Amino acid sequence: MLTKAGEVFYNYALKILDLQDEMEQQIETVFKHENNQVVIGASTTIGNVSLPCSIYLFKEQYPEVELCLNIANAEEVLSMVMSDVVDLGVVEGDSESSTLKAIHVTSDELVLIVPPQHPAEGDVISLQDFLKQPLIMREDGSGTRKILESALARHGYSVNQLNVITEMKNIYAIKSAVEAGLGGSVMPLLAVRKEAYTGTLKVLRIIDMDMPLIFNIVYPNSRPLTTKAKLFINFLTNPEESCLC
């Protein structure tokens, strides 16, 4: 037989035990959610063009993994990787350093896109004609812009010598502007395969100015990868399993 004080103590003890059970269940739920989530930062081209399809295919095989995709330019993605805002980054260009590990995903090239009625004969344009071409440029911090700057520098030119009419960050806006006849633009071939096939855009290569680029998965050397992050890396890079669209 409990005293009044004993009954009060007993009732509160039951409440405390119930709260402890609830707390443990919620903590377990949070841990499960965190362990199953992979946050990916991707540069504009591969983030808009290839990764959405790849994520869909990955989810078909691994529905328990939650993938979150943040799209920004290459410089911003690298900053997110270094500050642990994202688990992995997928960017163009040579990104390996003393603090970052880089794993090759795919290769591509930069090309000049122009309206289909552009007067260039065939699929090439001279460097001198390119310098005169009205251009819609990517913004500072873009991996595409950095590769173009390096290619121009090898020939003794700079971006300041180009006929730039405007800068845009969104590749779809750039393609729409080029289709409308506002100018040309330099971007990865990967981003314009559909338009090149349908003929809504014309793809030109600049004579004697090769602009190869690579896409890498990057992450800090100092941070161990989760099992789910490793699973996604393997999905994109393993030749037997790779599903980069």
CATH classification of the domain holding 195: 3.40.190.10
> Considering Cα of 132, then 133, then 136, then 140, what sign does the dihedral take?
negative
Residue 208 is part of which domain span? 108-213
Residue 75 in any domain: the answer is: no
Burial class (CB in 10 A: 0-12, 13-18, 19+), 3: exposed
Asked if 45 contacts 144 with a C-beta cutoff of 8 angstroms, the reply is: yes
Residue 14: inside a domain: no
Whole-prediction pTM: 0.78
Q: Please check whether residue 59 lies inside any domain of the structure.
A: no
The answer to whether position 140 is within a domain reads yes
Is residue 78 a part of any domain in this protein? no
Q: Is residue 61 part of a domain?
A: no
Q: How many domains does the chain have?
A: 1
Identify whether 129 is part of a domain: yes
**Residue 78 pLDDT:** 95
Considering the domain boundaries, does residue 4 fall inside one?
A: no
Is 48 exposed, middle or buried, given 0-12, 13-18 or 19+ CB atoms closer than 10 A? middle
* H or E segment and range at residue 215: strand 212-220
Which parts of the chain sit beneath pLDDT 70?
A: 1-2, 4-14, 17-18, 21-35, 96, 239-245
| Residue 242: predicted pLDDT | 55
What does R_g of the chain's alpha carbons equal in angstroms?
25
